[in-house]
Amino acid sequence: MYAMIPLFVILPLAAAFLIPVIGRFVNGFQKVTSTTVFLFLSLLSLYFMFARDQVSYSYMIGGWEPVRGIPIAIYFTLDGLTVFMLAIINLIAFFATFYAISYIKRYTAENNFYALLCLMVGGMNGVVMTGDLFNLFVFLEIAVIASYALVAFGVEKNELEASFKYQVLGGIASMLILFGIGMIYWKTKTLNMADVSYILSNTRQDTYLLFTQVIFIAGFGLKAALIPFHAWLPDAHSSAPSPISAMLSGVLIKAVGIYVIIRLFFNMFSLSPQVSTLIIILGTVSMVLGVFLAVGQWDIKRLLAYHSISQMGYVIIGIGIGMLILSNNGSRSIAALSIAGGLFHLVNHAVFKGLLFLNAGAIEYVTGTRNLKEMGGLSNLMPVTYSTSLGASMAISGIPPFNGFFSKLIIILAAISGGFYLLASLAILVSIITLASFLKFQKFSFFGKLRDPGNNNIREVPFFMCFSMVALALLCLGLSLLIFPGIREAVLNPAVDALMNTTAYSSLILK
Amino acid sequence: MQGMSIIVKKVSQLITALIFMYGIYIITHGHLTPGGGFAGGAILAGAFILLVLANGSELLKLKQKEEGSSLTESLAILAFLLLATLTLFFGTYVFFNNYLPGGTVGNLISAGIIPIYNIVIGIEVGAALFTIFLALAIYKEEMIK
């Protein structure tokens, strides 16, 4: 299975460049290829998750062996956290693509859509696997440049404006990240993350390193849309076609934002209380302000986009508490609980936010509007969309037995047992306001008098869209099982261990 | 898009051949001297762009050219991927392995598969930059209409 590791990058890239060539002659090639590729990769990632024969793999591209103990190849690493992220990325990509088969028919240039989607997924898979800082930057640019084009896919005024804003802020983020990578290279004379980690562990934490970390937080914080770096997200996520919104909100901000922050600060830099506190503050601000910005929105997709910021705050808080406790040499079990809560909420958010964006797309597909004031009474006519969106709304607002409840519970429990009482109470408050805004979403879209803004005859969406929504809704319920010991040990614990044992990553490559 | 005066046309025709050859030189000597596929590809695209700018072209022809260059681009990158994955499935089972003999350092034909990668990247970058130029030109033409 070792030789299969680079397939996560090869297959999406190959699909992305085969589609424009063959897709123009063979009708339907683009849909079949992209869905098969994503299905295969999700199965492969699940295989690596449950049945891998090693705890972690490191793959040397080009087969360049280390010279005198110094790694010279670009590495692909596959440990618990990577496998966890790969499974999320490829599963959500599969469902979004399957959904898009019906949804994207309204647009011209279907080939370009599928090619860009494959490119974006290839970039994200690369970001989570690579063990080289500059390689990470390249894959990150592949993913985000494809997403700039996908946000502007509708080529209307709003979409172009959103994409432009996204490009400007994304460009600033990329510049900051590149600058940070340059600073690391200046200090350590290497770009291999494991090697950097080894060298940094033998150097004193000075202002230079602290400044580098702040630059990285600003750069990847922009990609992850933490408040105050969030300005691009509501526009970009609400203007993109719905399957792409699901990918952007469900996966992209996690893979190129949160994942990299987690990986760099746990496994590359030495943990420090200052940076951990900064990360917790950013998370708290995102969580609280995001939900207050969301609750007043009337555009469904903007509402969901602001909730993405707020829910990312939960993830960051969970991770940040773990970082702070670890850097203060506190109780390792509380830190592990907190990190597990953060990662659990990350996968949950990918599933329910992906589903909610697909629901919003289904509503827009039949009514032609995204404005909550212009719709109503859809529950009888669109039973599948209604029931799945109810499930997702309950999951995001933290109502048992849906998955969101358990992950929020773990984060709050960890915060209380770690002594962060204010954070715990804020998390509960935000959860209540989230519930309020989703009650508003449910009430105005599905209940009340039937209104038909577009003079269409409203009916349930086609099979492909229904299938994806139902499957994701089932996942919303099924992921609650992750808190049971047997399943948790296979899925969550390896990811948490990869972070808790901060030197495991560098010892994986520097044997 | 309108062409330019006869002087510009003649001079650009003469110069293009030199630019093209220089681009090919940069690409093929990528493993020996500074430069390589990306830089050489940009020079190749420059030669094409110069020809289109000097001689002018109609909208329909521009669209034909764009289709051709975007096809070339995709094919070039597929060739690159094929070269890189060839040994993943046969022989050493390693992605991006340099499986050709290395040769003597400093010779034109040396460094194994790297010169071939350079050539494919040169085609890819040249075609990609030319496609971007054509897309902008087509956009401008359509705006005028």
Distance of alpha carbon B37 from alpha carbon A445, whole angstroms? 54
pLDDT digits (tens, 9 = 90+) for A150-202: 999 988 898 999 999 999 999 999 999 999 999 999 999 999 999 999 899 88
What's the confidence (pLDDT) of residue A366?
A: 86
Residue with tokens 């990662």: A343
Q: Could A10 and B81 be called an inter-chain contact, meaning their C-beta atoms sit closer than 8 Å?
A: yes
pLDDT digits (tens, 9 = 90+) for A188-242: 999 999 999 989 988 888 899 999 999 999 999 999 999 889 999 999 998 999 9
Query: Which one-letter DSSP state was computed for residue A299?
Result: B
CA A2 to chain B, closest CA, distance in angstroms equals 9
CB pairs under 8 A between A and B: 42
Which positions in chain B touch A13 (Cβ < 8 Å)?
A: 81
At CB < 8 Å, which residues of chain A contact B? Answer: 3, 6, 10, 13-14, 17-18, 20-21, 59-63
- Give which of B67, B73, B80, B96 to mutate to test A binding, by max A Cβ within 10 Å: B96
Mean pLDDT over each residue of chain A, to the nearest integer? 90
Say if residue A2's pLDDT is above 80: no
Render each residue's pLDDT in chain B as its tens digit; 145 residues: 777 889 999 999 899 999 999 999 999 988 888 888 899 999 999 999 999 889 888 888 888 888 888 889 889 999 988 888 887 777 677 787 777 777 788 888 888 888 888 999 999 999 999 999 999 988 888 888 7
CA A349 to chain B, closest CA, distance in angstroms equals 34
What 3-state class would DSSP assign to A70?
strand
The values of phi and psi at residue B102, to 5°, are -70, -35
- Asked if residue A129 lies in contact with residue A86, where contact means CB atoms within 8 angstroms, the answer is yes
Which positions in chain B touch A60 (Cβ < 8 Å)?
A: 94
Closest by Cβ to B97, choosing from A14, A21, A63 = A63
Say if residue A342's pLDDT is above 90: yes
pLDDT digits (tens, 9 = 90+) for A259-273: 999 999 999 988 889
Q: Could B71 and A63 be called an inter-chain contact, meaning their C-beta atoms sit closer than 8 Å?
A: no
Q: Could B92 and A63 be called an inter-chain contact, meaning their C-beta atoms sit closer than 8 Å?
A: yes
Which positions in chain A touch B78 (Cβ < 8 Å)?
A: 14, 17-18, 21
DSSP A362-378: HHHHHHS--BGGG----
Which tokens go with B136? Answer: 């902008």
Of A446-450, A464-468, A494-498, B74-78, the least confident? A446-450
Which positions in chain B touch A21 (Cβ < 8 Å)?
A: 71, 74-75, 78
CA atoms within 13 A on the CB side of A77: 26
Which positions in chain A touch B93 (Cβ < 8 Å)?
A: 3
Which tokens go with A327? Answer: 């850097």
- Asked if residue A35 lies in contact with residue A94, where contact means CB atoms within 8 angstroms, the answer is yes
Which tokens go with A180? Answer: 């940070």
Q: Could A62 and B81 be called an inter-chain contact, meaning their C-beta atoms sit closer than 8 Å?
A: no
Which positions in chain A touch B92 (Cβ < 8 Å)?
A: 63
Measured CA to CA in angstroms, residue A335 lies from A64, A293, A328, A332, A368 at distances of 37, 30, 11, 5, 47
Q: Could A10 and B95 be called an inter-chain contact, meaning their C-beta atoms sit closer than 8 Å?
A: yes
B80: nearest CA partner in chain A: A14
Which positions in chain A touch B123 (Cβ < 8 Å)?
A: none
Distance of alpha carbon A99 from alpha carbon A359, whole angstroms? 11
pLDDT digits (tens, 9 = 90+) for A114-156: 999 999 999 999 999 998 999 999 999 999 999 999 999 988 8
Q: Is B106 exposed, middle or buried (0-12, 13-18, 19+ CB in 10 A)?
A: exposed
What's the confidence (pLDDT) of residue A452?
A: 65
Give the pLDDT mean for A373-394. 88
Q: Which residues contact A51 (CB under 8 A, 6 or more apart)?
A: none
pLDDT digits (tens, 9 = 90+) for A42-77: 999 999 988 877 888 888 888 888 888 888 888 999
The alpha-helical segments, DSSP class H, found in chain B are 6-28, 37-55, 59-89, 114-144
pTM attached to this predicted model: 0.93
**Better-predicted residue by pLDDT, A297 or A451:** A297
Q: Is A17 exposed, middle or buried (0-12, 13-18, 19+ CB in 10 A)?
A: buried
Distance of alpha carbon A25 from alpha carbon A469, whole angstroms? 31
Closest by Cβ to A21, choosing from B75, B81, B98 = B75
Local confidence band at A8 (pLDDT 50, 70, 90 cut-offs) = very high
What's the confidence (pLDDT) of residue B114?
A: 86
CA A74 to chain B, closest CA, distance in angstroms equals 11
Which positions in chain A touch B71 (Cβ < 8 Å)?
A: 20-21
A115: nearest CA partner in chain B: B74
Q: Could B78 and A17 be called an inter-chain contact, meaning their C-beta atoms sit closer than 8 Å?
A: yes
- Give which of A21, A37, A78 to mutate to test B binding, by max B Cβ within 10 Å: A21
A4: nearest CA partner in chain B: B88
What's the confidence (pLDDT) of residue A456?
A: 63
